[in-house]
Amino acid sequence: MQGRVIGTAALVIVLSVFGQEAFGAHILEPLNTEIAATTPRGRMFGQIVYDYAKFENGTTVKTHLLPVEFEVGVGERTQLNLEGVIVLREDTAGVDESGVDELAFGVKQRFWDEGRVAPDMAFEAEYVPSAGLTGNHKAVAATLILSKNVTPRFVLHVNGGYELETERETEIETAPVGIGGEDVVVGIAEEAHNEAIWFYNVAPMIKVIPDKLMVLAEFNGRTPASGDTVMVVAPEIIAVLQSDTFLALQNVAFKFSVPFGLNDESPDMGFQFGISKLF
């Protein structure tokens, strides 16, 4: 029944694809993999995603996330990024949490044009001044982005990046004093913990209908220096909706993926639904 509903929805989207070519390839970016193309100068790209994941490894964790991002083209090859992740609900052993999980600023620079053999290349730098529901995490990240049209119908996107996270913890030292021996605060210290993370994304993409309908399978991995690598693979579909009549339906892309984990450290399953628009 579920497969029939998904198939019907996909068919409706396919039948809705019509009209002129999509302006700019940026709305064709996979949900979790960067592409080397930048937002056209003077234009803005916006995307909002509903992300559900379930993790079972002794304890069941269910997360409902809402990643939001805006990218502004400030040059022929340069864009500025503003991203945030909102936790709509995170259910761990019956305890619910919600709030803003991450806020990030970044810049992407495309520095090499695709040639006969060489791919399109870009570099992205990101600063995360607030991460985690308590907001006491900070991070910096750098990503090398490659995109290559292998054939007229086949595109390959590859990312490789490094992230350094810093978590500040406040430690309160107490000691029993007085006649009753009650604990009182005798010192407060702040300690920083750093963690390095390598991340990598691969997204082979097939243009079923060029610039209008794409099918792909993303592979996303994160390996902290402490171990516990997270690896996820996600079949995905991207469909572009175009309308010459309604401004709101111009340069709009719908994205749907079904990620599932490849090891015990990864979420078992989930789904993502995103809407992108080039303004």
Query: How confident is the model at residue 24, as a pLDDT?
Result: 52
Question: For residue 45, is pLDDT > 80?
Answer: yes
pLDDT tens string 212-231: 888 999 999 999 988 789 99
Bridge partners of 65? 51, 87
Query: How confident is the model at residue 21, as a pLDDT?
Result: 40
Closest CA to 236 of 71, 30, 89: 30
DSSP H or E run through 6: helix 2-16
Q: DSSP character for 41?
A: B
pLDDT tens string 159-192: 999 999 888 777 777 777 666 667 777 667 677 7
Confidence at 117, pLDDT banded by 50, 70, 90: confident
- What distance in Å separates the CA atoms of residue 275 and residue 268, rounded to the nearest whole number? 24
Whether 81 contacts 71, CB under 8 Å: yes
Bridge partners of 121? 112, 146
